[in-house]
Structure 1
Amino acid sequence: MSYFATESRQYSHPEDTSSVDTDWWRGAVIYQIYPRSFQDHNNDGVGDLVGITSRLEYVADLGVDAIWLSPVFTSPMKDFGYDVSNYRDIDPTFGSLEDFDRLLEKAHSLGLKVVIDQVISHSSDRHPWFAESRLSRTNEKADWYVWADPKPDGSPPNNWLSIFGGSAWHWDGRRMQYYLHNFLTSQPDLNFHNPAVQDALVGEMRFWLERGVDGFRLDTVNFYFHAQSLESNPPVKPEDFNASTAPAVNPYNLQEHLYDKSQPENIAFLKRLRALLDEYPGTTTVGEIGDAQHQLEVMAQYTSGDDMLHMCYTFDYLGGEYTARHFTEALRATQEKAPDGWICLAFSNHDVVRHVSRWAPHGFEDRLTRQAALLLATMRGSVCLFQGEELGLTEAEIAYDDLVDPYGIEFWPEFKGRDGCRTPMVWHAHVRNGGFSSANRTWLPVPAQHLAYAVDQQDNVANSVLSFYRSVLKFRKDHPALIKGDLTLIEGTPDNVLAFTRTLDGETLVCAFNMSAESAEFDLGGGTVTEAGAPGSDAQRDGARLSFGPFGAYIGIGN
């Protein structure tokens, strides 16, 4: 199949709400598209909606169930779309509402759901709401954002920090007050304690549900509320230090964030969001939780029961180690702390170093890439794949002069930011800019080392990483136990082996992974196991004894 046509066809919308599978999201595989870097149609060096639409056959052929679009709303792009100035329109960089409608229609015709990023914990400082709020302390929207008086000495009201560096408070000379920003100073935090703000944001989300989207990825979902007491955060205890949600060089990690996020008031608002989604059968939510010390407890609160979010993802696997011990502990903790919750699993996304570069020892990149794909597809939860992950892309080295990410510019060179995982998708190895764009300069450079991984170099190649991903996703769909089945850890494994079973309706799959560059052996114990035919299942079996090579895997069917 070819994915390189420049013209896209038009399709009619196939939805019949009377036959909607409202549970499609549970165990679904979602493909994240970073719009600036997927496909540039108008050749200005930045990806756009028409470009994405032209590549949807490729995405559908991977075997995924849905796409997640990072923000495409109107924005000054200080944080590349995560600073919204109009929640009801498309930024001209990406196209128009009509382009979005055509994308939605084509995705649905291909059997793909469409989940869009919803960034409501903060807006851009260019949003009309903030422009009005900062005019005075008495206007209609005066308390739509989080404002506070300075301390008597003029300093900020407390010690809260911005993830992007420095104080989370910025002085505004018009109101003679500070406003809260958990990220850039140009991203003021909305005041969720004001019911009018909640009403307005629910209305903005309803606009897109009426347009036909299938759900929302909720950015920084635990940041919606702050403690109205404005109490300072305590220092984190040394034994609780965790750099999973911010780089180790960031002083943000030195606080225990008890008062600036993850507040109890958020529960009622999330129930309100779920009630909104329930008005549109078959729609879903996936929340991003960033809370290094309390992420599993928060996930449990936010996804338990049938009146909260459908699923959440944490930074257990986006920021943790690739070791059997870490994964075993994370899986056990998830089962203990969030037994009724539902996790969305991801190893890479637009905010972290690509997992091949983050985890693979030199010389073992290909083996880890394949094992990680099989592991991700066999763990319990829904799955998010980040564009290019299916090609085995590594983190790109970006020269300082080419950096655009304000996070990386702030903490360079110890932390190089997020540009290295956001470089353009590579479609053709021998075409200008990898087939992403014919512009003289793209918004981020196309890494020369990525060209060997281009789609046209892997498509229809039997042993390529791309073909492997397709096979893994097909294997997952062929075994319902991997989609909605229970997971039970197998105890007594060697230190470098992770093993578990997945069980549903009489089917049991035995999954074992040697998560190291050394050989390993493992005894399956009693019971009989037959081969499952899983791609990448390459361990040798002698009776109940498994012998793994470096980053080897075994998938069997238990009897």
Structure 2
Amino acid sequence: MTTDTSQYLGRQGADWWRGAVIYQIYPRSFLDANGDGIGDLQGVIERLDYIASLNVDAIWLSPFFTSPMLDFGYDVSDYRDVDPMFGTLEDFDRLVEAAHARGLKVTIDQVLSHTSDQHPWFAESRQSRDNPRADWYVWADPRPDGAPPTNWQAIFGGSAWQWDTRRCQYYLHNFLVEQPDLNFQNPAVVEAILGEVRFWLERGVDGFRLDAVNFCTHGELQDNPPREEIAEGFIGVRPDNPYGYQQHIHDKTQPENLIFLERLRALLDEYPGTTSVGEVGDDDSLGVMAEYSQGGKRLHMAYSFDLLGERHDPEYLRGILTEMEARIGDGWPCWALGNHDVTRLATRWGAEGNDAALRLYLAFLLTQRGSICLYQGEELGLTEAELTFEQLVDPAGITFWPAYKGRDGCRTPMPWQADARHGGFSTGTPWLPVPDAHLELAVDQQEPQEDSLLNASRAFLAFRRRHPALVKGDIAYHPVRDEVLCLERRHPASAPGERLLVALNFADEPRELPAPHDACALDDAPAMVNGQWQSGTLTLPAHGIAIARCTTDSEEASWDV
């Protein structure tokens, strides 16, 4: 099916993505419509009204392609079809049509750097060294002693090289053994991958989230040097994982990757109103985010894991954001506080049962300059599920247990109805259990409560949408004082020019700060914005939020904290 995407550009035009809020759906865990225990595309269709009610701009669907599911869809064996467990291509077409009818854009995952070892391309490539696709993957001879060509490590543990007895060579896999890396130095591979992307553009998708996009090309086959210090970062950078012991200077984030990204962007530019957001995992992820999104010739935007770790003190957060602003130039960031790869925000940032803190973190995310990804269940305050080893299915969790328990705890099913079987997710046995602790946070429990986190999220998202300064405006940060993060958002093009002051109290006790005398609270601010501006003083409750408007050209509008 070919869809004219121009009719779906929406209220913000072709650059709708700039400042958009994208709701991430993990289809396996969203809603199961056929009772087999696994969420599906029909389940997403049935909950599109709920998604639209959140006041988000787009959805991002994690992989639903044909796959052996060893990495739950990130091991693709057919880029152009829907895995039967999720439905059919016709279901996908209906989803796109239904989402567009509700004003929602549709973005989908694309896993470009590697395929499943069950993909026909790899099945042919491994047969011999001289077949038509022999050079479609990264193959290399062993060292003289039979050892792998380099010391490169795979994120999921062990060497990144796997011996293949058919070719008597090693192939590269940066993730699972069953996820061989494509050879982007081969022009035929690039053309084939661009063809797979075009297939979905022709079906009417509005954009792509690009998985591990800095892994598409590799450098010279040389050993990586050791890392001087092992610090938490991208999924594999942990003391329990050998991947974290190296500086990854040869196996990813190569200059040649930029050439591919420019080809990809040129393709997207053929379809007005489409977009791309790249996932970046690197030691200098902020620099890569900037480089990958600058100049209008590569990605539209990029995100990293810098806000997806455990540290969240305001000094750290301000440091990340100000560095990004200093480096990104005309590029565009995308920010998230949670996704399908990291511990749930409420648990990771110590806010379990603390609605005030969760509202603060939501306000923090939604007042930053950039586009936003909101992971399913964050609007409910879902916590990390505690699972036993026997309940795990994530290969990373199984490999590194107990030091690392994997990603299953953030992937458990959405709770829709507290009193229904399995929280209303499925009439069958879910692929992962629904924690009892999640039932009291179910959608049907929060819907009727005016002050619930769900309704507070809706209200703040609607508030953000109404203010151009928050969506596309410039940003400036003030020094952190007494654990209060202060920033300004300006949008001089709006009428009249809008200047907003934002203060976020990360302390668990009240704070009082000096404030501009002409700062005045906004009449349309949602209830969760609870700071008080009076006579040059700002009073914030514990984990309080304050937003005020100032006259842009006022001499009294300086915020000298």
The bucket for the TM-score relative to the shorter chain is: over 0.9
**Are 1:261 and 2:248 counterparts?**
no
1-structure distance, mates of 2:231, 2:344: 23
Letter in 2 for 1:54: E
Letter in 2 for 1:420: G
Q: Tell me whether 147-156 or 422-431 shows the greater mean CA deviation.
A: 147-156
2:374 is matched with: 385
Q: Is the 8 A contact 1:162 1:183 kept in 2?
A: yes
Residue by residue over 1:388-446, the C-alpha shift from the partner in whole angstroms, topping out at 9 and shown as x without a partner, is 1111111111111110000000111111100000000111000001111000x210001
User: Which secondary structure state, in structure 2, belongs to the residue aligned with residue 22 of structure 1?
Assistant: helix
Task: Output aligned runs, 1:241-280, within 5 Å.
Answer: 241-246=231-236, 248=238, 249-280=240-271
- Of residues 450, 475, 479, the one that matches 2:438 is 450
Kindly state the Cα deviation for residue 243 of structure 1 after the two structures are TM-superposed.
Answer: 2.8
Letter in 2 for 1:354: R
Q: Is the 8 A contact 2:519 2:533 kept in 1?
A: no
Relative to structure 1, is the Cα distance of residues 133 and 146 closer, same or farther in structure 2, using a 3 angstrom cutoff?
same
Residue by residue over 1:495-514, the C-alpha shift from the partner in whole angstroms, topping out at 9 and shown as x without a partner, is 51111000002101100111
**Are 1:507 and 2:494 counterparts?**
no
User: Which secondary structure state, in structure 1, belongs to the residue aligned with residue 15 of structure 2?
Assistant: coil
Kindly state the Cα deviation for residue 15 of structure 1 after the two structures are TM-superposed.
Answer: 5.6
Q: Is the 8 A contact 2:20 2:371 kept in 1?
A: yes
2:304 is matched with: 314
1-structure distance, mates of 2:352, 2:537: 29
2-structure distance, mates of 1:18, 1:431: 36
Q: Tell me whether 247-256 or 442-451 shows the greater mean CA deviation.
A: 247-256
**Are 1:76 and 2:68 counterparts?**
yes
2-structure distance, mates of 1:144, 1:19: 36
User: Which secondary structure state, in structure 2, belongs to the residue aligned with residue 404 of structure 1?
Assistant: coil
Q: Is the 8 A contact 1:170 1:180 kept in 2?
A: yes
**Are 1:144 and 2:139 counterparts?**
no
Q: Is the 8 A contact 1:461 1:467 kept in 2?
A: yes
1:283 is matched with: 274
1-structure distance, mates of 2:272, 2:233: 38
1-structure distance, mates of 2:380, 2:82: 29
**Are 1:331 and 2:318 counterparts?**
no
**Are 1:523 and 2:510 counterparts?**
no
2:24 is matched with: 32
Task: Output aligned runs, 1:161-176, within 5 Å.
Answer: 161-176=153-168
2-structure distance, mates of 1:307, 1:331: 23
- Of residues 471, 474, 486, the one that matches 2:474 is 486
2:331 is matched with: 341
Kindly state the Cα deviation for residue 516 of structure 1 after the two structures are TM-superposed.
Answer: 2.6
2-structure distance, mates of 1:412, 1:241: 19
Kindly state the Cα deviation for residue 547 of structure 1 after the two structures are TM-superposed.
Answer: 2.9
Kindly state the Cα deviation for residue 344 of structure 1 after the two structures are TM-superposed.
Answer: 0.9
Task: Output aligned runs, 1:114-153, within 5 Å.
Answer: 114-153=106-145
2:105 is matched with: 113
Letter in 2 for 1:468: A
1:394 is matched with: 383
2:555 is matched with: none
Letter in 1 for 2:341: D
Q: Is the 8 A contact 2:475 2:487 kept in 1?
A: yes
1-structure distance, mates of 2:259, 2:489: 34
Q: Is the 8 A contact 1:14 1:109 kept in 2?
A: no
Kindly state the Cα deviation for residue 214 of structure 1 after the two structures are TM-superposed.
Answer: 0.6
1:461 is matched with: 449
Kindly state the Cα deviation for residue 140 of structure 1 after the two structures are TM-superposed.
Answer: 0.8
* Structure 1: stretches of 5+ with no match in the other structure: 1-11
2-structure distance, mates of 1:15, 1:416: 42
2-structure distance, mates of 1:271, 1:237: 34
Q: Is the 8 A contact 1:429 1:454 kept in 2?
A: yes
Q: Is the 8 A contact 2:301 2:332 kept in 1?
A: yes
Equivalences, count: 541
Task: Output aligned runs, 1:170-185, within 5 Å.
Answer: 170-185=162-177
User: Which secondary structure state, in structure 2, belongs to the residue aligned with residue 67 of structure 1?
Assistant: strand
Kindly state the Cα deviation for residue 544 of structure 1 after the two structures are TM-superposed.
Answer: 2.2
**Are 1:61 and 2:48 counterparts?**
no
Kindly state the Cα deviation for residue 473 of structure 1 after the two structures are TM-superposed.
Answer: 0.4
1-structure distance, mates of 2:483, 2:118: 51
Q: Tell me whether 165-174 or 546-555 shows the greater mean CA deviation.
A: 546-555
Letter in 2 for 1:552: G
TM-score (norm 2): 0.94
1:357 is matched with: 347
Q: Is the 8 A contact 2:233 2:305 kept in 1?
A: no
Q: Tell me whether 352-361 or 12-21 shows the greater mean CA deviation.
A: 12-21
Letter in 2 for 1:409: I
- Of residues 467, 471, 484, the one that matches 1:497 is 484
Relative to structure 1, is the Cα distance of residues 431 and 362 closer, same or farther in structure 2, using a 3 angstrom cutoff?
closer
User: Which secondary structure state, in structure 2, belongs to the residue aligned with residue 272 of structure 1?
Assistant: helix
Q: Tell me whether 241-250 or 508-517 shows the greater mean CA deviation.
A: 241-250
Residue by residue over 1:219-264, the C-alpha shift from the partner in whole angstroms, topping out at 9 and shown as x without a partner, is 000000000x2111111233x8453443522222221111100000
Kindly state the Cα deviation for residue 521 of structure 1 after the two structures are TM-superposed.
Answer: 2.9
Relative to structure 1, is the Cα distance of residues 393 and 362 closer, same or farther in structure 2, using a 3 angstrom cutoff?
closer
Residue by residue over 1:495-545, the C-alpha shift from the partner in whole angstroms, topping out at 9 and shown as x without a partner, is 511110000021011001111324333222x44100024332222444222
Letter in 2 for 1:306: G
Q: Is the 8 A contact 2:138 2:172 kept in 1?
A: yes
- RMSD (CA atoms): 1.6
* Structure 2: stretches of 5+ with no match in the other structure: 552-561
1-structure distance, mates of 2:8, 2:54: 28
1:6 is matched with: none
User: Which secondary structure state, in structure 1, belongs to the residue aligned with residue 360 of structure 2?
Assistant: helix
Kindly state the Cα deviation for residue 19 of structure 1 after the two structures are TM-superposed.
Answer: 6.5
Kindly state the Cα deviation for residue 460 of structure 1 after the two structures are TM-superposed.
Answer: 3.2
User: Which secondary structure state, in structure 2, belongs to the residue aligned with residue 280 of structure 1?
Assistant: coil
Letter in 2 for 1:307: K
Relative to structure 1, is the Cα distance of residues 211 and 13 closer, same or farther in structure 2, using a 3 angstrom cutoff?
closer
Relative to structure 1, is the Cα distance of residues 244 and 124 closer, same or farther in structure 2, using a 3 angstrom cutoff?
closer
Q: Is the 8 A contact 2:485 2:503 kept in 1?
A: yes
Q: Is the 8 A contact 2:25 2:61 kept in 1?
A: yes
1:472 is matched with: 460
Kindly state the Cα deviation for residue 75 of structure 1 after the two structures are TM-superposed.
Answer: 0.1
Letter in 1 for 2:379: E
Kindly state the Cα deviation for residue 300 of structure 1 after the two structures are TM-superposed.
Answer: 1.1
Q: Is the 8 A contact 1:14 1:108 kept in 2?
A: no
Q: Is the 8 A contact 1:241 1:254 kept in 2?
A: no
Letter in 2 for 1:545: T
User: Which secondary structure state, in structure 2, belongs to the residue aligned with residue 453 of structure 1?
Assistant: coil
2-structure distance, mates of 1:409, 1:242: 19
Runs (4+) of structure 1 exceeding 4 A deviation are 12-20
2-structure distance, mates of 1:265, 1:343: 22
Q: Is the 8 A contact 1:40 1:51 kept in 2?
A: yes
1-structure distance, mates of 2:437, 2:57: 30
User: Which secondary structure state, in structure 1, belongs to the residue aligned with residue 122 of structure 2?
Assistant: helix
Letter in 2 for 1:256: Q
Relative to structure 1, is the Cα distance of residues 246 and 551 closer, same or farther in structure 2, using a 3 angstrom cutoff?
farther
User: Which secondary structure state, in structure 1, belongs to the residue aligned with residue 292 of structure 2?
Assistant: helix
